[in-house]
Amino acid sequence: WQIKNGGDIVSDEEYENFHLKLEWNIAKDGNSGIIFYIHEDKSKYNWPWETGPEMQILDNNGHPDAKIIKHRAGDLYDLISISKENVKPPGEWNTAEIKCVNGKLDLLLNGENVVSTAMWDAAWKKMVAGSKFKNMPGFGTYKKGRIGLQDHGNEVQFRNIKIRRL
């Protein structure tokens, strides 16, 4: 199936400890992301990224955001840059994995662990306070939430989406 004319895809269920694995293929100059621990409360939040951290999906060769450290493919968007750049170019499938277990977060890109951090501790709060999310009080605070595939106005494909509760 496909989504036409845009829109985020957000899971019906909430996840706490989980392992998500999927493949993605971004268009030339494209931008998207995988957002997790989304808390949807329309009285407080307008967008999934106001609460949920994001594993960035990006054409690192064509999109201007790739010039910004912490905004490249595989980065924990605006928080932690990847330890090794190993993204495949547009037209090729990349594999992304997000593992969250009791506050330990690992992001894998094409089979390599590129980001590893603890969530919700003092260092996490300091990191969020130094990011573009500093004025979003709900950002990165929820320990359970939905998972979303972001629409950022560019063509992106996802396949082989698997999620397992841990």
All structural domains of the chain with their residue ranges: 9-165
CATH number at 9-165: 2.60.120.560
pLDDT (0 to 100) of residue 118 = 98
Q: Residue 6 — pLDDT band, cuts 50, 70, 90?
A: low
**pTM to 2 decimals?**
0.93
CA distance 140 to 146: 13
Model confidence over 42-94: pLDDT tens digits? 888 887 888 999 999 999 998 888 889 999 999 999 999 999 999 999 999 99
Residue 119 has pLDDT above 80, yes or no: yes
Residues 6+ apart with CB under 8 A from 131: 78, 79
pLDDT band with cut points at 50, 70 and 90 for residue 3: low
Q: What is the pLDDT of residue 117?
A: 98
Q: Identify the H or E element spanning 22.
A: strand 18-26
120-155 pLDDT tens trace: 999 999 999 999 999 999 999 999 999 999 877 678
% of the chain exceeding 70 in pLDDT: 95
Rounded-to-integer distance, Cα 15 and Cα 147, Å:
8
Q: What is the dihedral of CA 104, 21, 42, 156, to 10 degrees?
A: 130
> In this structure, are residues 108 and 75 in contact, taking their beta carbons and an 8 Å threshold?
no
